[in-house]
Structure 1
Amino acid sequence: MLSTFISPVQLEKAVLHFLAIALAAPAENHPCIPVPGGDVTLVFHGLDIVQERGRLPLLVLDFDCGKFRLQVEFFGHLAPAKFHCARLYDGDEVVAEHLFADPGTVYRSELAGEMEAAFPDSADAGALMGSLYLWRSCAGLSCVCPEELGKYFGKMKSVSRYVWELLKAEYTNDAVVEKWITSDYTCASDSAGVSVVLENGVVVNVNM
């Protein structure tokens, strides 16, 4: 089982942390980005988009971890609700795998629930998080993807319900702290600004 190597929650945190590092790290540090993953260290190896007619595009991230290779798949972009599956390879052989969610379903994790709890009760936490992580995915993955995939992430922003601006992504006390804002969120028929702070890719504070 993959969970004997890295638990699903550790894997979620590690991949969200990876994207935070990509946003904060100088370009010369790409693509060999080391990411803490519980008892192991994952080193980003590359990404690809798999598109088949009639199916959702799959974002595929590859990490080296010692003698193994870890492949994590997402539905379209990197977000808590978009986890699809993870496979651990020894050479070309799959030695362990974990299914987060089937196509057409939303992955609901304990971590995502904790992040949604940071939003005020009046906010549509699911919609805001979905939009934020789409923009975060486009911004961070554009830093590490092959040039030919840049257009994919550029077009993806157009499907977002809200427009986000990244105010900062920097190291503070050994954690990557991001601050994002949107000014076009509507709550109770009134336009309201929303600012969201993340640490290592996890939402920790929301102000409206």
Structure 2
Amino acid sequence: MELTTRLEPDADGSDADESGTDETVDSSPLKMTDVLTVISNSRRRFLIHHLKRSESPVTIGELSRQLVAWELDKPPELVSASERKNMYNALAQTHVRRLVECGFVVERRDGIELTPDARRIRIHLDIAPDRDVPWSRYYLILGGFHLAVSVAVLAVAPSSGAIPIGAWGVFVAVSILASALAHRYYKKQMCIGEGDRPPELRHEL
């Protein structure tokens, strides 16, 4: 399984370069080393996901119940007191402290919330099981297929009329558009803070 992470400024028209699998945080004062440290742990990713979906501070108790539910794949109301306590201690003693140190969250009297800098970036997880074809390879295959068939069409169609050039052009345009829409949908699904569950729990491996 391949798991890569891409970070982008959360602003219209300011998407980061998506070539390769490099991590970039353009126009953000958050330090790259701190960002990578934060997202290297699944509990911190789950915590950020929950905070991005909340418009107000969240207590560590609430976070504890939800993170246990995600980890154990059970409804929050079925989380036991001991499970919640263990998670609470881990968050309070380690993960929240690390998020504060890295500039991701601030602690308030009624709970914790993301800093403006943390809310401005989008974190994408690119989860590719071994059996899947990465998007970069998919577009390479698609482009090679279009190029090969286009050469054949241009060489044969004018004399035989077997494949109308206009019809082939429409097919190429539709296939590229459909691929782009599918990629955009996948990208949104893999964004931390989108949907009810964290991306890595929604993706079937």
Q: TM-score range by the shorter chain?
A: under 0.3
Which protein shows a greater Rg?
2
Q: Higher relative CO (CA 8 A, sep ≥ 6), structure 1 or 2? A: 2
Q: Which structure carries more helix by proportion?
A: 2
TM-score (norm 1): 0.23
Q: Which structure carries more strand by proportion?
A: 1
